[in-house]
Structure 1
Amino acid sequence: DIDSCITRLRVKVKDNTTLQEERFKKLGATGIIKPDAQSIQIVLGTKSESIASAIKEEMRQDTL
């Protein structure tokens, strides 16, 4: 599940302990927040909404 707000990309995951934060930071993330064991919030700034839309479209294409 992927959602966004103005500055964050919210993602549901099975286990956030295996997350490789440095990979997201190389892609432009300024921070990673782990509110619980099955979710992460990637701080991306104002581009988070467009990134969420692009990911959702890619996921939709994969299910066709």
Structure 2
Amino acid sequence: MNKTDKQILKIALRNGILFTAILLIISYFKNRMINYNWIPIWFVFFAGTGALRFYYQNKNSKKD
């Protein structure tokens, strides 16, 4: 695993955990209950979008 892959993995995990926790807190205060069924979907979505964003930003910065 090279340096870029490790960075993408690190950013994906950070985004997935951080934004899932934020959304979990917001949904708890709104509904006063935690729906655990949505947590894996939120995590995969936020981790994927964070990794894609980093990948494209890194790809575009290498072109310049």
- Place the TM-score, normalised by the shorter chain, in its bin: 0.3 to 0.5
TM-score (norm 1): 0.37
Question: Which of structures 1 and 2 has the bigger CA Rg?
Answer: 2
Higher strand share: 1
TM-score (norm 2): 0.37
**Larger relative CO (CA 8 A, sep 6+): 1 or 2?**
2
